[in-house]
Structures are given as C-alpha cells and as structure tokens.
Structure 1
Amino acid sequence: MITIDPRLSINQATIKHADLATALRVTSEAGVQAIGLWREPVHEVGLSVAASMLNGSGLRFTTHCRSGFFTMPEGKERRASIDDNRVAIEEAATLAAAGAAGSTAILVLVSGGLPEGSRDLVGARELVRDAIGELAPHAAAAGVTLAIEPLHPMFASDRCVVSTLAQALDIAADFDSAVVGAAVDTFHIFWDPDVLASIARAGNEGRIATYQVCDWKTPLPSNVLLSRHYPGDGVIDFGSLTRAVVDAGYDRDIEVEIFNEEIWATDSAVAVDRTARAFASVVSPHLAAATSSS
C-alpha cells in the first residue's frame, strides 16, 4: 500500500478511454481526492448530469480541458471558436461549483497553430491575445481563470504558437491575474533554459493556474502527441521544477496528465494506481522538501 498524496489529481486524459462515471469511480476508489475533466466526456452525458456525477463522487475539480484555438483570421470560424470558448467557461464554472471543497474553476487554453499559409508566429500570438481580451470579461464574471498552456515547440506549427512559459506570461500580463494565468506542464516546458526564472516570474505575478506533470522519454512515437509517460519513466527533473513551483507560491492540486496509447490500453484502475505510485515516488518528496524548507 502507498500513501496517496492529497494534492494528486488525475487528469482524465490519463485514462482517456474511461467514460465519466468510470473515471470518477476509479479515481475515488484509489483514494485520490481530485480530478481534472475533459469537455468531450462531459458532453457525452450533458453538463448538468456531469455536474451531478462529480458532486456525488466527492472529488475536487481541478481543471476543465480544453478550449482555445484562436489563431484563425477574423471570420465565421473565429467567431465560432470564441462562442465555444464562452460555453467552455460556463462549463468550468458549473463543474467547479459541483466539486468538493477546494475545487478550482480553471479552463485550460491551447492557443492553436499557425494559420494556414502563414509563417508569422508573432502575429499568431497577437491573435491569441486578442481572443483572450474578448473572453476575459466573461471569465471574470463567471469566476473562471483562463490558463494559457504553452506547448513544446514541436507543436508550434499545428497546435500551439505559445511555446514557452514566458510567452504565455507575456500574453497574460495584459489581464487581471485572477482571470488569466498559465498552465505549467512539465512535458512542455522542461527543456527551456529559462524555465526556472519563468516559474519564479509566474509566481511573482500570481499566474500559476495549474501545475501538470508527466514525463518525456525518447524515442518519440510517430504521433508525438502520444509521447507522455508516467513521472519517473523519462528524463524530466521533477525535483527542480516542483520545488520551483512550490517556492513560487503554488499550493493547490497537481494533475498528472498523460497521453500514451499503451497506458490508455491498460485497465483504468490500474493506470490510476500506477499514476499514484509514480507521483508518490518522484513528485511528493519534492513537495515535502520544498514545504519544510520554506
């Protein structure tokens, strides 16, 4: 038996093939206290039903994944994206209200890749800034924090033009820190030589909306999106990153978010147990060390 870290949250992507009822059940039965949900499983049952199921599980709600995708030029497609993001904001607020005490209303945003035919990364990031400017008042009214998630630069062309935590913070700087923050995901930012300084900056600005962990291991599969691993199975230094996040003032739940076909193919209860063991082994000790030294 292991002691389940009370700050561990299972991001639903880790057990992607489990429906919402199963995800809630196996997470709770494992002794994990929190879960981050994805929009698609919530939509399968409907928001009100999902909120009721979450409430009955007794789990804290940590993030709603994901929305964003803002880099198309002005027009019908961009308007549809903005409208869908407003819906996602309401979903995050509803689910946070349904979760156990300590739940957080955080909507994770993936910016979107380069517009078709464009090579203008800087201009694409400005499209992201403009979209968040439209959404920020709605998020503020709903009590939701928009978490800009930088993705590894291998995704810059097709998925996310925000590649570093510093870039996410530069966009967020235009807005109230309670409304727009950043997601710190080890898989995406561990390589950055300025990452520790950026984490400290994020803490000083009050913008660490969520801390997500998983590992990086090579060789990467043909679909690099599915190249995440259990913490401890790869090369990421969870010690330095976790201590930096704690030292920056982050004291809330920490999600394990893994995209990996082999892990998805395992029984979801087994995957949650393996996740909890990995977290206890390579993340929890650094939480304790950082807390005791502060």
Structure 2
Amino acid sequence: MSRLSLNQWTTRRWSVPDAVDGCRRHGIEAIGLWREPVAEHGLAATAKLVRDAGLRVSSLCRGGFLTGGSGLEDNRRAIDEAAELDAACLVLVVGGLPGVVPGEPLGDGVSRDLKAARARVAEALEELAPYAAERGVRLALEPLHPMYCADRAVLSTLKQALDLASPHPADQVGVVVDTFHIWWDPEVYDQIARAGAEGRVASYQVCDQLHPLPQDVLLGRAMMGDGVIGFTPLTEAVTATGYDGDIEVEIFNADVWAADPDTVLATMKERFTTLIAPALA
C-alpha cells in the first residue's frame, strides 16, 4: 500500500485540497497531479499543501502535444511546475496528427504525414530534455493505445517511446508503462524488459479496459478487475525491471467520476491489494 498513488483525474471532481485530504484520510502516500487543477489552486499553494500533508507527487500531467511544431513554451512552463512540485516525472502525451482536434470533425488543415509528426516530437525533445535536466525534472513519454493515434499521441507502443527516448540520458527521458495503453501489444513484455535494462521506467500506471468500450473511447478506462486486462504478468514484468516507484491508479470513466470519491478510493485500495500488490513481491 505504501506505493499506491491516486492520480487526481480518478476523482476528477475533487479539487487539489480535496484530493490531498482524501489521500491523507485513506492512508495513500502519493498523488499524481494535473496542471489545470494545480493552476486553479495555485502552484506555490499546491506545493506547500502536498508537502505539509507528507505526500509524494508521483507525476505531473501533462506536457506534450508537440506534433504541431509549437508548444515549447507551455512545456517549459510545465517543466518549471514539475520542479516546483518536486514531481517524480512530467508525463508527456506527445500529440496526434497536426490539425486533428480531439472530439471535433476533421477540417481542411489536417496533416496525414504520421512520420513527420513523430519527427516533430523528436525535434521538440532535443529542446526540452536539456531544459528539464537543468531543473531536475524527468520527462516521461507515454505511449497511448492506437485508437488515440490521430488525435492524442502518435506514439502507440513502448518500443516507439523507447526509440524516441534513446538519444537522451535515461534520467532525463523515461517512459510511462500504463496498463490501459499497452496490454494488447504482443511485444509488451520484451519492451518492458528493455525499458528496465535501459533504466527508463519513469512511471507505472494501472487501470482496466472496459468491454464494450463506451461511445467516447476516452472514457473506456475502468477500476482494476472491472475489465479485460490481466494485471499479474504486467506487474511482475515491471517489478522485474527493478522499478520501485509509486504506482498510480488513473481512470477516465463517467461512472467513476460520478461516484462518491471516498467510495472510489476505498475500492481502489481493495483492488490494489488484491490485484496489484501480490505481484510486487
């Protein structure tokens, strides 16, 4: 239980003070924060609140959206925020095809050049990795399920994320292993082992995948045990890499968001204990 972290989006309607207080009351020692609610509460105020509560910041979500060839200034701000919060990493969702906007119809300015979009991410990392290193922040590339390739992340596999990270020191650029996004990949265990050998596992995030998926596939995540993912082999593989950091539960799900957050945390702890913790030994 000491490694369990609440990703703030799991209890989305909680403010930063609510989420921090919820972690304290439920004995959860770490929290994954999101930039928008942090900005609403205030960066310095959030850093003090988390510090005074004795919590670790397992990650800050999110930077990225680099494929349009812009966004470097916002990502530098995100890096500065992660440094202020002493976050273990800044999660980067790299962005989809230029001109594709999540949830909106395709317009006239859409690029279908996937190779070029990925190249833009590599170019942006050349700028951002040294800036992050100067501030003691580790960037964490998060591959997303291929259904999000067009609008959110042109990185779909751990291999792609590791290949993109490889030109940079491992303490500057790592990867996120998120069960929802990578469980389907036939190469996932080889790539988790590779990430361990290269020292690049920056974050382990867990949740399940609903079946059937909802109409809005962004909300297709579920509490562990309520979907189709087998957590034991994935957790054993991550454990075998030597990763001993926090394990975040990050869920995008309308029913979970509508539920009593205290009930969500109680369920989260029970599922972590039964489905995740046994594989950590």
Where does residue 76 of structure 2 map in the other structure? 86
Deviations 1:145-165 (A, max 9, x none): 000000000000011100000
Aligned-partner residue type, residue 176 of structure 2: A
Deviations 1:252-281 (A, max 9, x none): 110000001111111111111111111111
1:211 aligns with 2:204: yes
Instruction: Give TM-score scaled by structure 1 length.
Output: 0.91
Deviations 1:1-45 (A, max 9, x none): xxxx11100100100110000000011100111111000110001
- In the alignment, the residues of structure 1 paired with residue 197 and residue 112 of structure 2 have an alpha-carbon distance, to the nearest angstrom, of 33
Q: Secondary structure at the match of 2:204?
A: strand
Aligned-partner residue type, residue 187 of structure 1: F
1:34 aligns with 2:30: yes
1:120 to 110, 113, 121: 113
1:176 aligns with 2:169: yes
Where does residue 125 of structure 2 map in the other structure? 132
1:49 to 36, 45, 49: 45
- In the alignment, the residues of structure 1 paired with residue 74 and residue 42 of structure 2 have an alpha-carbon distance, to the nearest angstrom, of 15
Aligned-partner residue type, residue 240 of structure 1: P
- In the alignment, the residues of structure 1 paired with residue 247 and residue 239 of structure 2 have an alpha-carbon distance, to the nearest angstrom, of 11
- In the alignment, the residues of structure 2 paired with residue 89 and residue 221 of structure 1 have an alpha-carbon distance, to the nearest angstrom, of 33
Identical columns (%): 53
2:251 to 249, 258, 272: 258
Deviations 1:166-222 (A, max 9, x none): 000000001010000100000000000000000000000010000000001211111
Where does residue 272 of structure 2 map in the other structure? 279
Task: Give the alignment of 1:1-294 within 5 angstroms.
Answer: 5-73=1-69, 78=70, 81-96=71-86, 104-116=87-99, 117-288=110-281
- In the alignment, the residues of structure 1 paired with residue 259 and residue 53 of structure 2 have an alpha-carbon distance, to the nearest angstrom, of 23
Shift of 1:105: 2.9
Where do 4+ consecutive residues of structure 1 move more than 4 Å?
none
What is the root-mean-square deviation of aligned Cα atoms in Å? 0.8
CA contact (8 A) 1:105 1:143 kept: no
- In the alignment, the residues of structure 1 paired with residue 111 and residue 173 of structure 2 have an alpha-carbon distance, to the nearest angstrom, of 27
Shift of 1:46: 1.2
In structure 2, stretches of 5+ residues that fail to align are 100-109
Shift of 1:62: 0.5
Shift of 1:125: 0.9
- In the alignment, the residues of structure 1 paired with residue 32 and residue 53 of structure 2 have an alpha-carbon distance, to the nearest angstrom, of 13
Aligned-partner residue type, residue 84 of structure 2: T
- In the alignment, the residues of structure 2 paired with residue 251 and residue 46 of structure 1 have an alpha-carbon distance, to the nearest angstrom, of 30
- In the alignment, the residues of structure 2 paired with residue 242 and residue 93 of structure 1 have an alpha-carbon distance, to the nearest angstrom, of 28
CA contact (8 A) 1:27 1:269 kept: no
Deviations 1:52-108 (A, max 9, x none): 1111211111000011000114xxxx1xx1001001101111111xxxxxxx43000
- In the alignment, the residues of structure 1 paired with residue 143 and residue 66 of structure 2 have an alpha-carbon distance, to the nearest angstrom, of 14
Shift of 1:115: 1.2
In structure 1, stretches of 5+ residues that fail to align are 97-103, 289-294
Instruction: Give TM-score scaled by structure 2 length.
Output: 0.95
CA contact (8 A) 1:148 1:181 kept: yes
- In the alignment, the residues of structure 1 paired with residue 196 and residue 81 of structure 2 have an alpha-carbon distance, to the nearest angstrom, of 27
Aligned-partner residue type, residue 85 of structure 1: N
